[in-house]
Amino acid sequence: MAPWVGSNHIAGWIQAAGLEFDTPGVNFYECHIWPFHDILTIKIHKIIDYINANYIDGYRKQNAYIATQGALPETFGDFWRMMWEQRSATVVMMTKLEERSRVKCDQYWPSRGTETYGLIQVTLLDTVELATYCVRTFALYKNGSSEKREVRQFQFTAWPDHGVPEHPTPFLAFLRRVKTCNPPDAGPMVVHCSAGVGRTGCFIVIDAMLERIKHEKTVDIYGHVTLMRAQRNYMVQTEDQYIFIHDALLEAVTCGNTEVPARNLYAYIQKLTQIEAGENVTGMELEFKRLASSKAHTSRFISANLPCNKFKNRLVNIMPYESTRICLQPIRGVEGSDYINASFIDGYRQQKAYVATQGPLAETTEDFWRMLWEHNSTIVVMLTKLREMGREKCHQYWPAERSARYQYFVVDPMAEYNMPQYILREFKVTDARDGQSRTVRQFQFTDWPEQGVPKSGEGFIDFIGQVHKTKEQFGQDGPISVHCSAGVGRTGVFITLSIVLERMRYEGVVDIFQTVKMLRTQRPAMVQTEDQYQFCYRAALEYLGSFDHYAT
């Protein structure tokens, strides 16, 4: 095992980084993060061969990665020259350009069109922005060469400005996408954050350990971090990052790989519905039970548990996490006036694309309209009847015939359209304080049975499509607000399928398990029953059947 690297080992290794060359401004963090000279100075021909970057070994693969700092304007040319000379096809960027009003990395790529950086011409071909990461595709040309190369940059945008992610689920999804897209014959994967040691180290260790788990069924996080630190100083910078690595690997091992190419979905579902060898349950039951294995600690429900807010929760055990709850603008002198039982949920392409909320109570109807207005939500999806099985599931929070006032807001019913499987209602909502008004559209799905789930997913898929089409046509920038009774079961199914179907269209893969898991990190109990979970699979398969090119 390589020794831990201390400052007394560094003196002989920093010559190339600052002592022999006149290289002002090429190190992001002066006097701290130097590449070790006797391990590596990335070979860049002519002019100067120095760049603040190191080869890092992977699992059974030397120089699998290059760890580097976030590029500076003075090093843009060097960065792209390194990409070319190392024949790298993938850049992993673990930072935003700015965090907490400080520059973490300069933009070393063109926003559109073509830019020339030193000897390399870089053309932006495509940008795909998703909720937690962004994928950019570039074409590279070198002066004097007719060869064209393609490089993809994956920028993870969900790492918080301070600390580490609350859950490893989005990060693991990001890592899987990076691995899938990196060509097997490419050069080292280039990984950077700001200094190129903390988050960069996390990515590399997790990736290398997942490879090791696949081949050996063992891990050695301490050993691998030690090895990395012998190749680049300070890799994995904080204890929090070190803990996060353990959490991510634990989740990866516990949950396994549930991503399925769309063309294999039918076979995968057939396998899930069979009784597992040595068990008395199906694979579907086991998969759903694995979702419930991580229970949220009560410390995550702070505002929801306050005495002034408890009566606002329809069910005592379904409450929003503090980290994702919708905050209303407080009313002066009214305790708890910023609380509503509602949570922000990320979509496939956009953060906070949805609001998942309970069916309003008589006592929370004013709060509901306040939430719609303050968060500019002009599309409401209702997935329950007002009463089911002889019990109130949702208070009628809208006026039927003539206008009604809910605190600051006057709501005028404008139109009602009765469709075979849903009712569309349109309301004009006016803020009585300043006279501003906007149109809110409510889609009430009427075909969900009072017990269980719909027999076919087709009608529900059409409904999801209609809602999103209307959002694109009329919706403003705000989220789609979705509710059933508790705001987790049918609401979870609607949001899960919205994400799954869009991902299927763009990536050709399906991962129901990880989608639901991601939702449950934002609101507890999303997709509440095994029936609902199975319905998500069935509906995805029915959606797939509507595409000829996936038919098998």
- Tokens coding 495: 């949001």
Catalytic (active site) residue 193: yes
Give the Cα separation of 67 and 195 in Å (integer). Answer: 9
- Tokens coding 421: 């499987």
Active-site residue identified among 105, 193, 255, 536: 193
Give the Cα separation of 40 and 49 in Å (integer). Answer: 11
Catalytic (active site) residue 105: no
Q: What is the dihedral of CA 23, 29, 30, 31, to 10 degrees?
A: -120
Which residues touch 415 (CB under 8 Å, ≥6 apart)?
Answer: 424, 425, 426
Which residues touch 173 (CB under 8 Å, ≥6 apart)?
Answer: 132, 511, 514, 518
- Tokens coding 485: 């009774």
Give the Cα separation of 289 and 120 in Å (integer). Answer: 52
Contact 320, 526 (CB under 8 A): no
Active-site residue identified among 202, 255, 484, 536: 484
Give the Cα separation of 397 and 405 in Å (integer). Answer: 11
- Tokens coding 20: 């022999």
Which residues touch 317 (CB under 8 Å, ≥6 apart)?
Answer: none
Number of residues in the chain: 552
Which position has the token pair 């549930």? 258
Give the Cα separation of 441 and 467 in Å (integer). Answer: 9
Strand partners, 485: none
Residue 423, class by beta-carbon neighbours within 10 Å (0-12 exposed, 13-18 middle, 19+ buried)? Answer: middle
The DSSP secondary structure of 228-284, one letter per residue, reads: HHTTBTT-S-SHHHHHHHHHHHHHHHHH----EEGGGHHHHHHHHTSBPTT-SSBHH
Contact 77, 138 (CB under 8 A): no
Query: Would you please indicate which residues are annotated as catalytic (active-site) residues?
Result: 193, 484
